Amino acid sequence: MTQEENKNFYDILEIATDATLQDIHSAYIRSKSAYAPDSSAMYSLMSPAECQLILEQIEDAYSILGIPEKRREYDIARGFNQTNTPRGFVEEISKKPDYAPHNTFNESLTERTLDLNEVIQEKAKKEEFKYQQEHSQKNLANVSKTQAFSKFTLNYLTDQNFEQEIENCSEYTGKFLKKIREYKGVPVERMAEMTKISKTYIRNIEADEFEKLPAVVYTRGFVYQYAKCLKLNSDLVATSYANHLKNLKNTI
């Protein structure tokens, strides 16, 4: 069994096993947004197939953890929350009217006709339609292909020894990423322009300041863009750096 296949639903949403309904709902919305079509952190540089696969995992996780009875069955099977019961989960949602379907996303959708998952699906359809409209408008703009290409062009003197060091690297740290960026002559300001990542986050990534970075799922997306702009193996770099951050957190 691979590491991805062995990952539990709590890991996919990046929440604790004793998370509340509010925690689960917030994590679901946050994760969906990270891989949504209009997310500059993910979708613009990751392939549609990769994003779709992750979105399907997020949907699977929420379809179980977001429903008390299914969550309880899942917890029992996995050995989680053995003292918890769906009753406490149901009571929690009753105390939070902002999570009732008629107040979520669309006031016209009532609790009697649609459950929470159906409401979320309705919002996803609206967001997809909005994205298609915005995408169509962007396609109408007369953008020069030459200008777009030159934006991501790198001009630097090649050092074969360092190129070999990069080629052999399998564990990327913030310090090494900074060294590569400077070697390829890309200032922080230009990197921010190329990736649409703030200069602050870029510096925090390079300094391994994990406590100043967003959730790992977002940071991985940032590093993926960072690596792609430097003509590196984006998947390898992003995955390696994400593992590097997790190791740093575990040593605290």
Above 50 in pLDDT, residue 235?
yes
Above 70 in pLDDT, residue 88?
no
- Mean pLDDT calculated for residue range 175-191: 94
Hey, what CATH topology would domain 3-140 get?
A: Helix Hairpins (1.10.287)
Q: For residue 35, which amino acid is it?
A: Y
What confidence score (pLDDT) does residue 96 get? Answer: 47
Q: Are 165 and 158 in contact (CB under 8 A)?
A: no
What confidence score (pLDDT) does residue 91 get? Answer: 57
Above 60 in pLDDT, residue 19?
yes
Residue limits of CATH 1.10.260.40 in the chain = 151-250
What confidence score (pLDDT) does residue 97 get? Answer: 42
Residue limits of CATH 1.10.287.110 in the chain = 3-140
Measured distance between the N- and C-terminal CA atoms of the chain, rounded to whole angstroms: 29
What confidence score (pLDDT) does residue 131 get? Answer: 62
Rounded Cα–Cα distance for residues 44 and 225 (Å): 9
- Mean pLDDT calculated for residue range 136-161: 62
In CATH terms, 151-250 corresponds, of 3.40.50.300, 1.10.10.10, 3.30.420.40, 1.10.260.40, to: 1.10.260.40
What predicted TM-score, i.e. pTM, was given to this entire model? 0.45
Q: What percent of the chain has pLDDT over 70?
A: 65
What confidence score (pLDDT) does residue 69 get? Answer: 80
Residues 6 or more apart from 122 whose CB is under 8 A from it? 105, 106, 109, 114
- Mean pLDDT calculated for residue range 118-126: 59
Confidence bin at 224 (pLDDT 50/70/90): very high
**pLDDT per position as a tens digit, 22-56:** 889 888 888 888 877 766 555 456 677 777 888 88
Please give the residue that has the higher pLDDT: either 218 or 143.
Answer: 218
Above 80 in pLDDT, residue 119?
no
What confidence score (pLDDT) does residue 149 get? Answer: 40
